[in-house]
Chains A and B, each alone.
Chain A
Amino acid sequence: DAGVTQSPTHLIKTRGQQVTLRCSPISGHKSVSWYQQVLGQGPQFIFQYYEKEERGRGNFPDRFSARQFPNYSSELNVNALLLGDSALYLCASSLPPGTGLTGELFFGEGSRLTVL
């Protein structure tokens, strides 16, 4: 079975531009989470989606938005890019709470965004 896939793997943008990152979860996983990992730091929670609804949001500005599609894939959008948005953006899928499982995260390889 395929793991979590993310695209693109690398991209370079300039300040003020907009970016869309994509994620396909593991088959059967209905929950998708997004994390930002700045170099030298731990991943920071951005969003969690389950059944196409936002179930959690981290401390990020409104420039960050996301959505989940009927096939459970997800997109993360960042508008008006700033230099500080340069980071590795990680998508993770999991089985949601209530399934009787503990919901450990399965991560993709990430999308490395560089903002110039």
Chain B
Amino acid sequence: AQSVAQPEDQVNVAEGNPLTVKCTYSVSGNPYLFWYVQYPNRGLQFLLKYITGDNLVKGSYGFEAEFNKSQTSFHLKKPSALVSDSALYFCAVRDMGRGGFKTIFGAGTRLFVKA
């Protein structure tokens, strides 16, 4: 079965510093990996995805993610954090079934960016 793990419940960074939110995955076959962000009392918003190709994927709001097959990781990164980046971040993996699919989410990592 496909799964993702987010080892950190919370990440704290200062504004202007680089940030990394970690994710590891376990899949059979080629991974379809995603990052989503959730602001308080809101639904999730798609940030970026890795399907194939370049290991460095660029997404919305200046975020990027690095796919590392040997380490089975898909860490989310941003060169310079903003206070407005403070939110809940979810790593996810697509699980294809017979005739359909489902997306499996990690437990989430809360990012706090301090001014």
Contact = CB atoms under 8 A, between A and B. Distances in A.
Contact of B108 (A41, A92, A97): A41
Interface stretch (A12-20, A76-84, A102-110): A102-110
B67 interface: no
B46 A104 contact: yes
Contacts of A90: 43-44
B29 interface: no
Contacts, number: 68
Given A42-B107, A90-B43, A102 B102 contact: no
B51 interface: yes
B14 interface: no
Interface string A98-116: 0000111111111010000
Main secondary structure of the interface of B (DSSP, over half): strand
Interface in B30-51: 32, 34, 36, 41-46, 49, 51
Given A42-B90, A102-B32, A110-B43, A97 B102 contact: no
B42 to A, nearest CB: 6
Interface of B: 32, 34, 36, 41-46, 49, 51, 90, 94, 96-97, 99-108
Given A45-B104, A48-B102, A104-B46, 20 more contacts: A4-B43, A33-B103, A35-B105, A43-B90, A43-B105, A44-B105, A48-B101, A54-B100, A56-B101, A56-B102, A58-B102, A96-B101, A102-B51, A102-B94, A104-B34, A105-B36, A105-B44, A107-B45, A110-B42, A110-B43
Interface of A: 4, 33, 35, 41-45, 48, 50, 53-56, 58, 90, 92, 96-97, 102-110, 112
